[in-house]
Structure 1
Amino acid sequence: MGVSGAQAQMDQNPGYYQHLLQGEHDDRLEEAIRTDMNRTFPDNVKFRKSADPCLQKTLYNVLLAYGRHNQGVGYCQGMNFVAGYLILATQSEEEAFWLLDALVGRILPAVGGQGRSAWVSSLVRAADYYSPAMLGLKTDQEVLGELVRTKLPAVAALMDGHGVLWPLVVSRWFICLFVDILPVETVLRIWDCLFNEGSKIIFRVALTLIKQHQAFILEGTSVVDICERFKAITRGSFVTECHTFMQKIFSEPGSLSMATISRLRASCRARLLAQG
């Protein structure tokens, strides 16, 4: 709450969360959120309808409040897993909302919002990453491709040779921030770094997974085979040993400055916009 700026926003806007929950009905938003309720952590006992209390209601409230808070985004699939993790970690509905606002609005990558107030900037930036067009998400997938091309050229050549597009293999990594991809203990440690150091941590994790399993990935012989190998590298002892894994993400990818990330984001975004 402190390092993300969420505590400051909550303190400066007392009663705002409850005000959002009492807002006007939006059938489309509410139905979209309800549709994903039973799909969110179905194996977690606290999210089952039989639980008392059932966190589905808490999750619904957080997502509804955020959708009303940022109408340009509303609700996007993937946000349910992110919000669900925040609820489990904080055990506080309102804190989960403000952390979601910090994460989606200020920490995750987006172009725009500079020179504006932090509040307005949050809304502008979030719309770029989680809007229906998902331009920010698509940009970061392209950025990862460029980083792999530089740091792991053999993997990039394999992908190009088989025509495998990065969204096929990493879209869920990015949009869910590795929730339901990597083990819980590992994800929570990744998120500690994400809140503290910013969005380049996402690339450090992705590059480490790919580099550590480069030989295995390079044995892929088809699009389907390569996609299955990318699923397989998110399981096993390497990702389960969370402390060793976290040490690796700061050593395996090598130098990875924010300046480099920002430059690649600008060029990849421009290329995507030119493609329409």
Structure 2
Amino acid sequence: MHSSAPRSPLAANEQASGAATDIQAAADAHRQREVRWMALLPAVSPSQARKNKKVRRLLQDGVPSSLRYLVWCHLTDSKARALPGVYTKLGKRPRVPAFMEIEKDATRCFPDQPQLHNTNGPIASLLQAYLSMVPDIQYSPALASIAGHLLLLAPEEDAFWIFASVMDAHLRSYFSSSTIQIEVDAALLSKAVEFNDPALHKKLYVSLQMAPASITRPWFSSLFVGTLPVDHLHRIWDIFLYEGMPFLFRVGLAVIHCVRRLLLQATSEESVLESLTHPPVACLPSSADDLLSLCFSMKLKDDDVRKQRVKMEAQVRRQTQARTHATIGMPSRQTKSISLPRS
């Protein structure tokens, strides 16, 4: 039996040199992105950031981890919403009914991040403040997931105002007493699946008779926290905060595409949901940027999604109100939506 030839010291040195060069190139690219972002952020007002093509190009090129939360502040215009002293005052209000549940969910969602779920930890504090400010919101563990992920990157009060901005701009209707918006988005995603993959649509929605919302709710209400690896999730949020809700449909279609084989083999709704909410890492693109490319390759017209969301939401709301009036005989009372502390 012949032994393998000893490795040449020259070859080993060349390999080490090549690896060092790659590391240096990555570091240089990171610094260049930092410089470009640091030049752009002061030049583009937050209120105009989501309309700026330079911002979009830089987002697609990548966001340095060192600046990510500042970029998110910019995209959500959260600094404009921040009222001095309000967060502290909200935290002093009586505990919301869901407080103990929030603490449990914080521990369950982030078991490896004890700094997030200590007694009166930042997740509980942030959601205590938000739920006392917006009392018509119904608590869900998805809120703890989103809040916790923000708190991994941003200081607590900054995370609160980003959270409030994202909720108001995109997600608040998901957590109201009415589930109209999630039902609308679930129906739209079902149609998008049918357009992109008729065979898979038939398997999920006809053969297994899955309710569309059972697929959409765990994704959209948590912004894919817990579904995607952290690096992938960061890049998804980078683009989502610029593009808005239609991009979540693209992400959903991309995840479905990644686990298509598992879904076609599935024999139960439970196995489908497991593959969709916890896709095997081996099924996902190896890099976050490859996942973004896959998302943008999905057949979907973003403007159509925006128009259909408004149209279908109004239609479903009219139907719901008609049923309510027929049953009760009078309109339901509206809950007070915002409760800010007095100065």
Report the TM-score range of the alignment, normalised by the length of the smaller protein. 0.7 to 0.9
Asked if 1:65 is matched to 2:129, the reply is: yes
**TM-score, length-scaled by structure 1:** 0.79
Q: Distance in 1 between matches of 2:274 and 2:92?
A: 45
**Structure 2: which 5+ runs fail to align?**
1-72, 324-343
Listed as ranges, the matches of 1:156-195 within 5 Å are: 156-159=201-204, 160-195=206-241
The equivalent position to 1:85 in structure 2, one of 149, 164, 167, is 149
TM-score normalised to structure 2 length: 0.65
Query: 1:1-276, aligned counterparts within 5 Å?
Result: 1-10=73-82, 13-23=83-93, 25-47=94-116, 49=118, 57-73=121-137, 75-90=139-154, 92-108=155-171, 126=172, 128-159=173-204, 160-231=206-277, 233=279, 235-236=281-282, 238-251=284-297, 253-264=298-309, 266-267=311-312, 270-271=315-316, 274=319
Offset of residue 196 of structure 1: 1.5
Q: Once the 2 structures are TM-superposed, how far is the Cα of residue 162 of structure 1 from its aligned partner? A: 1.9
> CA shift at 1:35, angstroms?
3.7
| Structure 1 Cα separation of the partners of residues 113 and 92 of structure 2 | 29
Structure 1 residues 15 and 182: alpha-carbon distance in aligned structure 2, compared to 1, 3 A threshold: same
Secondary structure, in 3 states, of the residue corresponding to 1:64? Answer: helix
> Which amino acid counterpart does residue 105 of structure 1 have in structure 2?
D
Distance 1:273 1:163 in 2: 26
Based on CA coordinates, which of the two structures has the bigger radius of gyration?
2
Q: CA offsets per residue over residues 29-73 of structure 1, 9 Å max, x none?
A: 433433423223112343364xxxx8x611111111101111111
1:209 alignment partner AA: V
Identity %: 23
How many matched pairs?
248
Q: Partner amino acid for 1:205?
A: V
For the aligned residue pairs, the C-alpha RMSD in angstroms reads 2.5
Structure 1 segments unaligned to the other structure (5+ residues): 109-125
Q: 1:166 Cα shift? A: 2.5
Q: Taking structure 1 as reference, are residues 26 and 60 closer, same or farther at Cα in structure 2, changes over 3 Å only? A: closer
Deviation track 1:98-131 (CA, whole Å, cap 9, x = no partner) reads 01111111133xxxxxxxxxxxxxxxxx2x2212
